[in-house]
Amino acid sequence: MDLSRLRMVLGGSTVLKYIFIFVFLLNIRSWPLGWHIRIWRPAIWLQVRHLFVKLRSSIYSKEKSQKIEDKWFESVSQLGGNPLDVTSHYKTWASIDDSDFNGHLSNSSYAKTLDAARFKAAIELFPLLFRETAWIPLAGSYFHFIREIPMLASYEVRSRVAGWDSKWFYIVHRFVSKPKKGDRTKKQIKQTPRPTVLPSLRTVSGPEETSANDTPVDSMPETSTEAALKSVANIIAAVEPDGATLHTIAVSQLCFKFGRITIPPSVAFAVNGLTGIESSPNPPPHWGKVRELAAKEAGGSRKKMAEFLKGGWRNVPEDERWWEHAFADISERNAANLQEVEQVKRGMEGARQVEIHTA
């Protein structure tokens, strides 16, 4: 073979090899186990921190070691936080493998990102629940796409509990991106009282919100589900306090389980130190009851807490149910929010009844 032709063949294969490696690296977040790593990262980090605490306390007596561990779990909990106000932030970016041919984050990637954001929120809000091997199954999720997220853009998912009943609780997730420093407006955003339902949702400062093809979003008739999702978005705020742009609203419907037994949301919230009492001290007033169940120095144990979560709460007289008293001050707000989020569920369930015509 001619030497020059051989060099050309070898050179061409080298170029193809580097192109292959480049494409492979561009899709690094879609490698095998990539999704699992993103999902489990907050749980693994919590476990690593817990392990270090156990190692540091192992030099002490068993009693003191347990006391240190209990105190650490209290430190990572949202003690005294209002479940309707505590927000979890999950920051990420629109990678190439998560984007579509239009140069935007693919609609299919929102659910994948939401998995990680939802898991992070659960770890941050309910660490004591996971300590007792309880779990949180997902019953459904609903999306309302408002504005696309450009490829390579940074964005975050802000998750907050919207409401709950005796079985289900709902989390509203807001996909937002912060404006670039040069694009920041100097206009002061005024804080308004917390509303139940606000006027029509807007995410841009212009007179009319538009989609990618310059068709006004509001020019299309809304379905009942879309209207409900917009109403749900207004539970939190019509405009992000920091001026961030709202791209998508998602609602997750979940419940708490210990094995196959359902844990009422108010019980799960209360044992993690959450409360609805305004200006609540840290820890909240009912925390002594939780420590009697979980903290060894207060007469509690993990077994005692597990028995309570598995149904022991049913044996507590109604007038002594401290977990219900803990949220009495926000019961009206919770009921109003719950009515809004349940509209989304009813709208989707109503879609099952839509008549299908076959040709």
Euclidean distance between CA atoms 293 and 282, whole angstroms: 18
Burial of 193 (0-12, 13-18, 19+ CB in 10 A): exposed
**Axis crossing angle, helix 224-236 with helix 331-351, rounded to the nearest 10:** 160
Q: Would you tell me how many other CB atoms lie within 10 Å of the CB of residue 311?
A: 12
Euclidean distance between CA atoms 118 and 125, whole angstroms: 11
- The answer to whether residue 224 scores a pLDDT higher than 90 is no
Euclidean distance between CA atoms 136 and 118, whole angstroms: 10
Euclidean distance between CA atoms 47 and 37, whole angstroms: 14
The enclosing domain of 333 has a CATH number of 3.10.129.10
Can you give the pLDDT at residue 131? Answer: 87
Euclidean distance between CA atoms 286 and 293, whole angstroms: 12
Instruction: Tell me the per-residue pLDDT of 137-179, one tens digit each, with 9 for 90 and over.
Output: 999 999 999 999 999 999 999 999 999 999 999 999 999 998 8
Point out the least confidently predicted range of 6-20, 32-46, 97-111, 211-225.
211-225
When divided into structural domains, the chain yields a total of 1
In a domain, 199, yes or no: no
> Taking Cα atoms as reference points, which of 223, 232, 105 lies closest to residue 171?
232
Range of the domain at 87: 28-180+222-350
Burial of 143 (0-12, 13-18, 19+ CB in 10 A): middle
In a domain, 19, yes or no: no
Helix (H) or strand (E) holding 261: strand 261-263
Q: Which percentage of the chain shows pLDDT scores above 90? A: 54
Euclidean distance between CA atoms 112 and 101, whole angstroms: 18
Helices (H), 250-301: 265-271, 287-294
Cis, peptide link before residue 283, omega less than 30° from 0: yes
Can you give the pLDDT at residue 28? Answer: 78
Q: What is the mean pLDDT of residues 229-254?
A: 76
Instruction: Tell me the per-residue pLDDT of 172-220, one tens digit each, with 9 for 90 and over.
Output: 999 999 887 766 554 444 444 444 333 333 333 333 333 333 433 444 4
How is residue 122 written in tokens? Answer: 């659960």
In a domain, 139, yes or no: yes
In a domain, 16, yes or no: no
Q: What is the pTM of this model?
A: 0.79
Contact 82, 276 (CB under 8 A): yes
The pLDDT-based confidence of 226 (bands split at 50, 70, 90) is low
Euclidean distance between CA atoms 194 and 265, whole angstroms: 23
- The answer to whether residue 233 scores a pLDDT higher than 90 is no
> Taking Cα atoms as reference points, which of 125, 190, 191 lies closest to residue 164?
125
Place of tokens 């999702």: 229
Can you give the pLDDT at residue 343? Answer: 86
- The answer to whether residue 29 scores a pLDDT higher than 90 is no
